Amino acid sequence: MRHEEISPDRYVRIPTSALFSVQLRHLMSEKDSTIGVPAGTPAATAITGITEWVGSWHNQGVSVGWDWGVVNGIVVLLGQKEIRTNIQLIATDHRPVPPGVAQIHLFHWIESLPWRELAINDLLKGA
């Protein structure tokens, strides 16, 4: 399959080794009080929300979204297993990376982005 072709399942297949070269830009972030907070966090004081980032890989659009929350005064990604994306990471043999391993790679990639500074802190100023 050529990189420019869209796969029937709509996943954009990206080699794990190339993930950090994909450039994303902030699309939107907003507070969402319906998101569950981690156990032990007082719900009345919790702030939660979503953020969505977009980019491209070889002329194919990619999207990555996740839930975030303020836990003990720190903005964190909630639910590493709940990262929403149309990216399917592939190994050097072009086979899909197992989902659990892909989630770890996606989490580290997201944490390399300045998402707190660009998307979340402005929302919290008015909180």
Q: Give a yes or no: residue 7 inside a domain.
A: no
Per the prediction, the chain carries an average pLDDT of 87
In-domain check, residue 6: no
Least trusted range by pLDDT, from 9-13, 18-22, 92-96, 105-109:
9-13
* pLDDT above 50 for 1: no
User: Residue 88's domain is classified under what CATH number?
Assistant: 3.10.450.610
Dist CA 34 CA 31 (whole Å): 9
pTM: 0.84
| Residue that has been written with the tokens 């086979």 in this structure | 95
Residue 44 lies in a domain: yes
In a domain, 29, yes or no: yes
Contacts with 114 (C-beta within 8 Å, 6 or more apart), sequence order: none
Query: Is residue 101 in some structural domain?
Result: yes
- The answer to the question of residue 39 being in a domain is yes
Examine the pLDDT at 4 and tell me if it is beyond 60: no
Q: What is the pLDDT of residue 2?
A: 46
User: Given the structure tokens 């982005």, which residue do they identify?
Assistant: 113
- Residue 91 domain boundaries: 12-125
Q: Is residue 117 part of a domain?
A: yes
In a domain, 106, yes or no: yes
- What is the per-residue pLDDT across 15-72, written as a single tens digit (0 to 9) for each? 999 999 999 999 999 999 888 766 666 665 578 899 999 999 999 999 999 999 887 7
